[in-house]
């Protein structure tokens, strides 16, 4: 059986902003996958499950303990610039770090509010930066 990644379950998509975000995270990348299923519970153990979509909603959590001023500025600009991501509004390309799967490019958008921290004067960090994976590069 071939090695399966989220790439195998996504469709081709063209992003709103056609550039690649490539600041590699430093900690473990967390990938989540969820199907859109509603569960209606009745009395006792009765329940009904309704599949709203057979597509998986993938998310990726990135973390940086220490970021250079340049990398922090890049991420900050990417998130806040209306022509780029415009917060959580627009999609763009993202490549996972080489040790995960270097050959795939995904179409993502931010799925969180911006929150970073600074410690010891100019040592920046980001505890959680969430990406919603909308598709893959055609």
Domain boundaries, the chain: 6-136
| Burial label, 131 (beta-carbon count in 10 A; 0-12, 13-18, 19+) | buried
- The two tokens of residue 32 are 């989540």
In which residue are the tokens 């893959």 written? 136
The pTM for the full model equals 0.84
pLDDT digits (tens, 9 = 90+) for 14-39: 999 999 998 888 876 888 888 888 88
Q: Coil, strand, or helix at residue 78?
A: helix
Q: pLDDT at position 102, please? A: 65
pLDDT digits (tens, 9 = 90+) for 82-116: 999 999 999 999 988 876 766 789 999 999 999 99
Compute the distance between CA of residue 81 and CA of residue 100 in angstroms, rounded to an integer: 28
């Amino acid at each position: 059986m071939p090695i399966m990644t989220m790439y195998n379950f996504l469709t081709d998509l063209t992003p709103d902003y056609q550039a690649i975000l490539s600041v590699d995270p430093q900690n473990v990348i967390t990938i989540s996958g969820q199907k859109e299923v509603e569960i209606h519970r009745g009395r006792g153990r009765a329940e009904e499950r309704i599949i709203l979509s057979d597509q998986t909603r993938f998310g990726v959590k990135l973390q940086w303990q220490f970021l250079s001023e340049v990398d922090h500025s890049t991420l900050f600009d990417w998130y806040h610039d209306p022509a780029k991501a415009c917060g959580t509004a627009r999609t763009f390309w993202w490549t996972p770090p080489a040790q995960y799967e270097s050959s795939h490019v995904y179409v993502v958008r931010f799925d969180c509010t911006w929150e970073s921290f600074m410690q010891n004067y100019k040592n920046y960090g980001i505890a959680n930066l969430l990406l919603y994976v909308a598709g893959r590069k055609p």
